[in-house]
Amino acid sequence: MKKFSGHIPLIYHLCLGSNQADRKKNIIAALDSIEKENIRINKTSSLYETEPVDIREQPIFFNMVIEVDCPFGPQKLLRILKHIECLLGRKKTFPKGPRKIDIDILLAEDFVISSPNLKIPHQRMDKRNFVLVPLNEISPDVIHPVLKKSVKTLAQETDDLSTVIRIEGTLWK
């Protein structure tokens, strides 16, 4: 495992999700806001409609994964993403509940980060179809730095049976 040493810029993979209001519009607004923060979007997956996983009694999500080139370290990126969520109207409800926008850091190259407010790689990414399917679309050969398996292998091995349906190609330039 490679601990983060301050090396920037970094290539990150982020997961975006929404299950309130105009889900597609929320995700497009998040993409626009990310780019306005001097974070370059390199790749975007298709847009997927996905079932809620942990708390199933809530609206269906739209999800996608993006790869970004970022001039900020993980903690600063997290602060930026939380600020974007707030600006776009995310309200604190209950854990894993409905949300207008959610932006999670999945990977930061092959670094492993463990702090009270941030874990990279994302702790449950290998158990979530709504992450693995779009991530596999854009970065199948990326290696999970803890599990030492490719995204493609993780997508094939997951036990998650939740439905993930591609509804639209890329939303971004």
Torsion sign across C-alpha atoms 148, 149, 155, 158: negative
On the question of pLDDT at 5 being above 90, the answer is: no
Q: Average pLDDT, stretch 122-142?
A: 97
Query: Residue 142: which pLDDT band, with cuts at 50, 70 and 90?
Result: very high
148 vs 162: CA distance, rounded Å: 24
Q: 173, exposed or middle or buried, with CB in 10 Å at 0-12, 13-18, 19+?
A: exposed
Cβ atoms of residues 8 and 72 within 8 Å: yes
Looking at residue 173, what is its pLDDT? 66
Using a cut of 0.85, tell me whether the model's pTM lies above it: yes
The tens digit of pLDDT for each residue in 150-173 reads 999 999 999 999 999 999 887 776
The tens digit of pLDDT for each residue in 6-44 reads 767 799 999 999 999 999 999 999 999 999 999 999 999
Q: Average pLDDT, stretch 58-69?
A: 97
Q: Average pLDDT, stretch 40-67?
A: 94
Looking at residue 40, what is its pLDDT? 97
* 2-160 belongs to CATH 3.30.70.560: yes
Q: Which amino acid is at 5?
A: S
51 vs 58: CA distance, rounded Å: 9
On the question of pLDDT at 84 being above 70, the answer is: yes
Looking at residue 1, what is its pLDDT? 61
Looking at residue 127, what is its pLDDT? 96
Q: Which residues neighbour 116 within 8 Å (Cβ) at sequence distance 6 or greater? A: none
